[in-house]
């Protein structure tokens, strides 16, 4: 780590981060504070996506998990929580794929198999992500580790699609957004 930080401190003029939490972590490891900028970066939202919310069934809540099926993303946390939801009108749609180590993914599949309200929608193309955001009641981001700022968060915020996120420090930075519930 020190070799990389020395390289960055020597070669880069300015560095931005997606969150201030990320900036503080890098600075605590030795990144020069004079090189870091206070502004935050963000992912671009694709211009060819059409903002056209679809008519939703007001009696059903459609939650979406979109991302890798790996431990830091918290997929199994939300899948486990689904067993405690006593309402049959709450659905979790999972648009995901496994990491190289499929142990965690197989645990998710066992959790999903026992719950009729979890739907595995498979991997979706970026071109179709706008369509998903149009029909979602909320996006869930149950991150468990030092998740910095998932791409899907930028897209959901741009779409005014509500987010249900875990209390990971970097995600808490966005608590001022009206569409985020921690």
The string of DSSP letters for 101-150 reads: STHHHHHHHHHHHT-TTEEE-----HHHHHHHHHH-SEEEE---S-----
Q: What is the pLDDT of residues 137-157, one digit of tens each?
A: 999 998 887 777 788 888 888
Cα Rg, the chain, nearest whole Å: 18
Block residue for tokens 């509500």 = 162
Separation between Cα atoms, residue 76 and residue 74, nearest integer Å: 5
List, in order, residues 6 or more apart from 109 with CB less than 8 Å away.
none
pLDDT category at 176 given cuts 50, 70, 90 is: low
| Of 68, 67, 64, 143, nearest in space to 98 by CA | 68
Separation between Cα atoms, residue 170 and residue 40, nearest integer Å: 12
List, in order, residues 6 or more apart from 28 with CB less than 8 Å away.
none
Separation between Cα atoms, residue 50 and residue 133, nearest integer Å: 10
Task: Look up the pTM and report it.
Answer: 0.81
Q: What is the pLDDT of residues 118-127, one digit of tens each?
A: 998 888 888 7
| Higher pLDDT pick, 106 / 151 | 106
């Amino acid at each position: 780590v020190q070799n990389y930080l020395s390289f960055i401190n020597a070669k880069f003029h300015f560095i931005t981060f997606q969150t201030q939490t990320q900036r503080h972590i890098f600075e605590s490891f030795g990144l020069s504070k004079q090189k870091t900028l206070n502004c935050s970066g963000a992912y671009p939202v694709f211009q060819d996506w059409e903002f056209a919310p679809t008519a939703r069934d007001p009696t059903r809540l459609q939650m979406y998990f979109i991302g890798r099926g790996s431990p830091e993303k918290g997929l199994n946390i939300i899948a486990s929580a689904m067993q405690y939801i006593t309402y049959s009108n709450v659905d979790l749609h999972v648009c995901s794929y496994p990491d190289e180590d499929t142990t965690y993914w197989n645990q998710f599949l066992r959790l999903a198999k026992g719950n009729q309200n979890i739907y595995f929608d498979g991997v979706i193309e970026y071109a179709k992500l706008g369509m998903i955001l149009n029909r979602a009641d909320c996006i869930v981001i149950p991150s468990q580790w030092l998740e910095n700022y998932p791409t899907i968060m930028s897209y959901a915020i741009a779409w005014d699609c509500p987010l249900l996120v875990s209390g990971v420090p970097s995600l808490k930075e966005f608590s001022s957004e009206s569409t985020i519930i921690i």
